[in-house]
Each structure stands twice: as C-alpha cells, then as structure tokens.
Amino acid sequence: MAEKTDESPASEEGGKKKSGKKKLIIVLVLLLLLGGGGAGAFLVLGKKEDPKENKEEHLEEEHPQLVFAPLDPPFIVNLADSGSYLKATIYLEFDIEKAKKMELDLAAAAGHGSGGSGGGEKGPPKLEGILKVKEPLVRDVVIRVLSSKTVDEARSTSQRDALKGELVEAINDVVGEGDGPVTNVIFTEYIVQ
C-alpha cells in the first residue's frame, strides 16, 4: 500500500501539469480567436466616417473657392444727369477655378500656353484667368454701367444693391460665359459728389 501512496502524488502532479497546460492552450486559443474576430470585424465594417469631416467635404463641393481681387485703380465717373460724379473702389468676388478654367480654354483656342499668374505669387490677390485677360473690357463695362446712373440712383441704397447685380451680370457677359466666374461686386469706397 505504501507503493500506491508514492505513485498517487506523482500521478496527480502529472495530471495537474496536463490540465494546467490544457487550460493555458484553451486560453491562448480563445485569445487568438477573439483577436482575429475583432480584426476581421474591423476590416469588414471599416472605419466609420467622422460626420464633421464629411460635412466639410460637402461644403467644399457646394461652395467654390472664392477670391476677392481689386479692380485697380478706383473708378471715377460722371453721372448721367448732372455735373456730379461717382468714385468707387471695387473688389470682385470670383470663383478662382472657373476663372482659371476659362483662361485655359481661351489659351487652348488661341494655341498658346496657359499664361497663368503663377499661383505662388505673394501679396494681395490678383485677377485670375479670363478676368485678367479681359481686364480692359471689364473696366470698360464697369465705367459704362456706373456712368449710366443718375445721382438719385447712385445715392439710393436699394439701387446700389441692384447696381451690384447689374455689374456682375455685365462683367460675366463681357467675359463671354453664361455662368461666369464673378459672383459678387464689393464696394470698399463709394462716394457721390
């Protein structure tokens, strides 16, 4: 019987080692399955889009890149009905991509290079594309529209807002495109005397 007691502890110790190894293997297999399942789920479901990021991309598509550039020098014109004059400093708000595209189309039609303004220039914004190419015509149409106004029309706030729309339409007509690059006209100085 003494021999049985000697063998018992040794067999139990070996059994504990085997069951401990089995538990370790089972735990490792479970961890691998969980890790693999998590990685698979991540790859299948993909990264959720950040709503802010998606909203910013949507806004960029809706709103083109707008740039403001001065029509220098300021305009000084005689008004239609009297010896009064109007002095106006005007900035054009325009879609830079439309202006550049129109310039490329014009250059291609004429058989020249793009002749762009070299986007890396420092300093204040400048007219781009077709607006730069046709600047003399743009200035001429602005002078014609401004000088056609009477003193009362030039002084009226509501008429001034209508004048902005008229200038946008006239400038885009001169540029020669239906939906031209100019989106707004801004008066930074407007004096009727």
Residues 8 and 74 in one domain: no
Q: Specify the higher pLDDT residue, 27 or 74.
A: 74
Find how far residue 50's CA is from the centre of its chain.
Answer: 18
**150: nearest Cα among 137, 140, 163:** 163
**92: nearest Cα among 47, 51, 49, 135:** 135
Residues 126 and 33 in one domain: no
Q: Among the listed ranges 17-31, 79-93, 110-124, 176-190, which one has the minimum average pLDDT value?
A: 110-124
Q: What six digits make up the tokens of 162? A: 């209508």
**Confidence band (pLDDT; 50, 70, 90) for 78?**
very high
Instruction: Tell me whether residue 154 is in a domain.
Output: yes
Instruction: Tell me whether residue 92 is in a domain.
Output: yes
Instruction: Tell me whether residue 36 is in a domain.
Output: yes
Residues 123 and 35 in one domain: no
Q: What is the mean pLDDT of residues 55-59?
A: 53
Sign of CA dihedral 125, 128, 132, 138: negative
Instruction: Tell me whether residue 37 is in a domain.
Output: yes
Residues 164 and 84 in one domain: yes
**Confidence band (pLDDT; 50, 70, 90) for 89?**
very high
Instruction: Tell me whether residue 125 is in a domain.
Output: yes
Residues 31 and 119 in one domain: no
Residues 156 and 186 in one domain: yes
Residue 161 burial class via C-beta count within 10 angstroms: exposed 0-12, middle 13-18, buried 19 and up? exposed
- pLDDT for residue 51: 57
Instruction: Tell me whether residue 86 is in a domain.
Output: yes
Tell me the whole-structure pTM to 2 decimals.
0.58
**146: nearest Cα among 94, 188, 99, 86:** 86
Q: Among the listed ranges 17-26, 54-63, 75-84, which one has the minimum average pLDDT value?
A: 54-63
pLDDT tens digits for 120-171? 444 455 666 677 788 899 999 999 999 999 999 999 989 999 999 999 999 8
CA 188 vs CA 46, 50, 78, 89, 123: distances in Å = 51, 40, 19, 6, 19
Looking at the structure of the chain, the number of domains it has is: 2
Residues 35 and 120 in one domain: no
Instruction: Tell me whether residue 55 is in a domain.
Output: no
Instruction: Tell me whether residue 73 is in a domain.
Output: yes
Domain with 21, as residue range(s), is: 2-48
> E strands within the chain?
66-78, 85-95, 182-192
